[in-house]
Structure formats: C-alpha cells, structure tokens
Structure 1
C-alpha cells in the first residue's frame, strides 16, 4: 500500500464549478427516499447505509490495496468506482448512494495535514494545540478550488448511477471537525478539545465559525455538482453536555441549512429545496432543538440507543426519522437480523416519514451477506406491513 499522503490544492486558478441540473443526468428511476422526505405515503420503506462503501466489501479492499485512502478520495474516477460498488452488489436493495469522501477534507482545505494510517485511522501530525495555532489555518477558503475533486466525483457518480437511486453529499459538523483538529485523531474522551471549550470559549467559537463557513460552502458546492440530498455528521455530539451542546454545537448546526438554502436559492429556487439530514450521534437531549420550527433540517438520523416511538413523540409528525439498528446486529444470524428488523420497522412505522439505516456506519469486519439480509428484511417486511 502506498504511504499516507497529505493533500495539496491545485496551484492554478480554476473556473467556478458548473451548476448542474437534473437535465444534465439520467432520469431518476427510484425516488422513494425523496417521496418519504416530502411526507408522501410509500409502498415500502427506503433504506441506505452509512459507510455502505467501505472496508467490509472485498472489492473495496482490493482498490485500497492499490491506492492510499486520500488518493481514492481525491481521484474522481476512483471515488465514483467505490461509491458504486455497493449499488452494484446490492442491486435494487439500496435507495440512495453516498459519495465516497471523508469529513476530514474540510480540515485539509483549511490547511491542516491529515493522514489515514493503517490500523489507526485519521491522524493529524500537527493538531491545533492552543489558540495561537488558529493562525496556521487558511482564511477565505475557496472550496471550489480546494475540494474540486469532491465535486467532480459527485458529477461523475451521478452519471454512473444511471438514475438507479439519488446521491448524497455530506460534511462533518463544526464541533466534530473542531474536535478532530485539536485531538489529532480519534479520542476516548475528547479531553483536549473540551479543554478548549472551557479554557478558551471565545477562541473556540471563532474556530467553530470558521469551520462552519467552509462547511456551508462545501455543501453548496456538492449540491451544484449534482448531489440530491445532503447529510451533516455531528458524530461527537454525545460527548458534550446539554449546556455545551447548546453553546458550541447547536448555533452552528442551526446556521448550516439556513445558509445553504439561501445560497442555493440565488442559483436556483429548485435547488434550494434539497433535503438536508442531521445526525447528532448520542445527543438524546437535542431532538427537540434539532426539530424546532425554523431550523430547517428535513430528516433527523437516530443512533441505536434512541427509542423510535419516543423520538417520534418528541419531534412530531412533520420531520422524517432515519435509523437506527445497532451495527452489531449484523453479526447476528440472519434470522435474528430479520426478527429485530421487523421490531424496528413496527416501532418507526413503515408508510411515511421514515428512512431505514443503521444507527451508525458499517464496521470493517461485517459480512456483506449479513448486510444483504438486513436490506432484504427492510424490503420484505415493510412491503408486507404496507400491503
């Protein structure tokens, strides 16, 4: 395998990325997930899976044996290839695709080096240690220059999907990205990042706002490139207390859909209607604030520790819910997978305002055929319940 590589933006100036419309792509044949988000009754529950393109697939591992992780991300043809792998393998069973990229392309665009180390995961050789390091970050980031490879991959993948299902773009949320930038990688308790919140709250807010600005621009650029849905991953939300979440996460999460839609509206009123999903993992206390009038998220994704019935009662009937099987269910026998999936579907309801998924992403040692069993159970059981 090639050595880890850092990311360097193109040296030459680039023209603004073309605004793509549906007319530039093959007609969509499966709009089930979009109909659910609009609140329409459906014949079965739509399903897609977080990290559905990844290390559990032998065909993905074959590509990774040839290329560094970020080389795959930065090469549109490779990103398209691995994005389509689960769509091809599970033909007719997945109702959305998600572009193969990484949330940490935003810290890279801000000027930090990020490596993906075998057996360890993301690594920042020089994380932000204290507020004096904010000066190391780029200002006025030109996302369409720094992250153009993501846009090119989205446009290429939209064409490669041939209308089989819609395509998600995504970003990491500001608090989650800030935590990575300070911790330098994964962490059990985020002690370094949370130290910033307590010791340097104003500087933390400055960093969060700077990250938010790039997040917004990146989502807008992905929509311009052809993404049909967008998801915001606040993967470390549950590491914050309710008060800290309200101070250091929620204000920036609130900005994102409002600003994205305003920017897209100037380009195309139709494009501004793009559905936006938020996944605040572990933040049980945040369901009401994330679904409050005016925050403008269309879908709230739930992790596996949240009860579907209670969540529905808390968010009301106009928000679509997504989730939320424990990824470890896929280690169980196939009959157990089907039984537990039925219970999940019965709790969520199967006719409207629900998208099936896992409560987090696929794990590297999952058996691909056990994911197939889960997808087939979603299809068969929801069709039966809706008959």
Structure 2
C-alpha cells in the first residue's frame, strides 16, 4: 500500500478520531450519483451494475464530484452498491430502476440456495480493483471511503425481494423464525467483514456501514437482531487491525432512524463515528452518545431544494447545534441521508461553501 500518493487532506480522518478540527470536514452520501449531469451522461451508455463491475467506470463516477467541488469536499466514496453482497452470496439482483430480486428468500429453507462459502476476492474483486485505481487517481486530494450495507438492511432486501414500505416479509421472519434470522444475519456479517477487509487492503482509508433500515425495528428488536451483527463486523475488523492484517482505519456506522438506540450503539457497537439522520438535534445526540464516538450528519437532504437562503439558514442552525454539543471536535458534516436526484449541483456547491463558513472553529 506504500505506492499510494500521500494524503494531502486528513481533516476527515482527524475528525473521525474525535480530534478538534479547524472546521468540520464535509461530504454527502450518494455524492457520486444521479444529481450530476456528468453521471447521467455515463449512465446513457452503461447499465448500473455494469458501472459497479467496471473499475475504470466506477473510478470515473467516484471522481466526478471531487473534480466538480475540488477544495470544498473532504472525502470520496467508492461508487458501488450495498447489494453486491447478496450478489456475492449467490442471489440475482436487477436494477429496474430500483433493486429487484427475482428469487427472494421466502422461507428459511431458501437459505440453502445461498453460496456456502463466499470468496470475496473472486466475487467482489472488481470493487477492490476500483478502489485501488481510484485511490491512485485521487492523488491524495481526499481520503477514499469504502462501504457495505448492514446485515439487517441486506437481510430485508434479500427477503422482501426489493424495496418495501411495510417490511412485512422481513419482519415476519424475525418473529416467526428468530433463530434462523439471527444465523443468517451473522452469516451476512461474516461476508461483510471479509469484504471490508478486502476494501482496506485495496486502499480504502475509511469504512462506512449503512444500516438504512435500522429505524424500522423497535429498539428492542434492533438490540436483538441488528446490533449483534453490527458488533460482529466491527469486532472482525478490529481483530484484523490488531493482528496487522490491515492498517487501522476509522469505522463509521449510519443506523438511520435508530435514534432511540444511539446511546446503546455508541457504547456497544464498536464504531468510531455514528451517522445521524435529520430527526434528532445534534446537541441531544451528543448528550446520548457522550464523548466516546464522533458524529456525522445531519441536515435534511430536502433542504437542498429550498434555495440558497434556506440552505445557508439551515447549515448555520445545524452548525450551531453541533458546536453547542462539543464544538467542531469529532464532527463530520453531512446530510442526514443520501442526496436526492433532483438537486441542482450548484445548490450543493453552496451547501459546501456554507459548511466551510459556519463550521469553522473560530
């Protein structure tokens, strides 16, 4: 890994370690995506998963926002998708336009259809190659984030067969087949560990786990089903850090909607940074988690449609909330969920400029 260019901007890494920073580092979830005309141009000729599986295309998409917002943005995130893990486990996933599993898991008997032992280098080597070529192409401008979906979120997709508003099938599994559900969640977690270790070996400098459906579980069921699999991931990674298999990198967990569980997650999940959605005030979140973890977030993505005055007003308000909860120490500025496709790229530029202005430590 010594052949990578030296990192010129380590603001995000310092914030993730809980250090006081001169201003909050900033990036946004889904920043390489459909709101950018240059992304839509690439998509005209290439299917979604084709881009994920073609390292040069994934590199190009990952670099697009870095080029556009150079000097304003403090991290890149590799262009991929959380559903490459179910694909690696032997499930077919189509994107038309949202994710669709033609053959979902209907009962625990269907678990037998999954690949017994997943070779992540064979199944997901294209992601590792994309990370390596992107890390080199970044030339040290900003760190590169690798990621995976959390086991509960992936489990929900695998059982539901796609997106859902009710989570009826996946939550029925938790009630009807609790032990089989727990076993599958840990099996998914073990694949995620191997996958994330491979990403660090390939050059990822930060890792984020997206538990997008965490808030669909009651705090009780989050603790029973999701949290043990999240702990399995962090403990597997920390073992690899400790034995020197991979360099130690910051771990971010985004448990969207699980605000009632934040203190438990901070104390027990094993992550350095917790991502917040927009449904909690920053100073309250800091009270819940204490000084143990850094925080990331948490502006409502829809405020980017409100015009420049609204964006500035909201950034100022949220920055003041984080400063009240601990200053710029241990805070990574971000949205409370992914940026949505209709945002004007110039409004996102203004968002970044406002973060630079209002998050400064002075």
Is 1:88 the counterpart of 2:63? The answer is: no
**2:313 maps to which residue?**
339
Q: How does 1:303-382 map to 2 (within 5 A)?
A: 303-349=277-323, 350-382=327-359
Report the 3-state secondary structure (helix = DSSP H, G, I; strand = E; otherwise coil) of the residue aligned with 1:232. strand
Q: 2:124 aligns with which of 140, 147, 154?
A: 147
**1:198 maps to which residue?**
175
Is 1:288 the counterpart of 2:267? The answer is: no
Report the 3-state secondary structure (helix = DSSP H, G, I; strand = E; otherwise coil) of the residue aligned with 1:324. strand
Per-residue CA deviation, residues 269-316 of structure 1 (Å, 9 max, x unaligned), is 7x1x21000000001111111111x53210000000011111000111
Report the 3-state secondary structure (helix = DSSP H, G, I; strand = E; otherwise coil) of the residue aligned with 1:231. strand
Is 1:75 the counterpart of 2:46? The answer is: no
**Structure 1 contact 39–352 (Cα < 8 Å) conserved:** yes
**2:224 maps to which residue?**
247
Measure how far apart 1:351 and its partner are.
Answer: 2.5
Report the 3-state secondary structure (helix = DSSP H, G, I; strand = E; otherwise coil) of the residue aligned with 2:126. helix
In the alignment, the residues of structure 2 paired with residue 175 and residue 295 of structure 1 have an alpha-carbon distance, to the nearest angstrom, of 14
**2:33 maps to which residue?**
54
Q: How does 1:159-170 map to 2 (within 5 A)?
A: 159-170=136-147
**Structure 1 contact 28–165 (Cα < 8 Å) conserved:** yes
In the alignment, the residues of structure 2 paired with residue 159 and residue 81 of structure 1 have an alpha-carbon distance, to the nearest angstrom, of 12
Q: How does 1:89-238 map to 2 (within 5 A)?
A: 89-118=68-97, 121-238=98-215
Report the 3-state secondary structure (helix = DSSP H, G, I; strand = E; otherwise coil) of the residue aligned with 2:210. strand
Measure how far apart 1:28 and its partner are.
Answer: 0.4
**Structure 1 contact 220–264 (Cα < 8 Å) conserved:** no
Report the 3-state secondary structure (helix = DSSP H, G, I; strand = E; otherwise coil) of the residue aligned with 2:201. helix
In the alignment, the residues of structure 1 paired with residue 154 and residue 15 of structure 2 have an alpha-carbon distance, to the nearest angstrom, of 30
In the alignment, the residues of structure 2 paired with residue 261 and residue 140 of structure 1 have an alpha-carbon distance, to the nearest angstrom, of 22
Measure how far apart 1:47 and its partner are.
Answer: 0.3
Per-residue CA deviation, residues 102-160 of structure 1 (Å, 9 max, x unaligned), is 00000000000001113xx0000111111110110001101111100000000000001
**Structure 1 contact 76–153 (Cα < 8 Å) conserved:** yes
In the alignment, the residues of structure 1 paired with residue 19 and residue 261 of structure 2 have an alpha-carbon distance, to the nearest angstrom, of 26
Corresponding pairs, count: 359
Per-residue CA deviation, residues 220-270 of structure 1 (Å, 9 max, x unaligned), is 11011100000000000000111111111011111111111212433447x
In the alignment, the residues of structure 2 paired with residue 132 and residue 38 of structure 1 have an alpha-carbon distance, to the nearest angstrom, of 43
In the alignment, the residues of structure 2 paired with residue 40 and residue 201 of structure 1 have an alpha-carbon distance, to the nearest angstrom, of 41
User: Which 4+ runs in 1 deviate beyond 4 A?
Assistant: none
Per-residue CA deviation, residues 39-88 of structure 1 (Å, 9 max, x unaligned), is 32211110010000000100000001110000000000000000000000
**2:12 maps to which residue?**
33
In the alignment, the residues of structure 2 paired with residue 203 and residue 39 of structure 1 have an alpha-carbon distance, to the nearest angstrom, of 38
In the alignment, the residues of structure 2 paired with residue 186 and residue 317 of structure 1 have an alpha-carbon distance, to the nearest angstrom, of 35
| Structure 1 unaligned residues grouped into runs of 5+ | 1-20
**2:234 maps to which residue?**
257
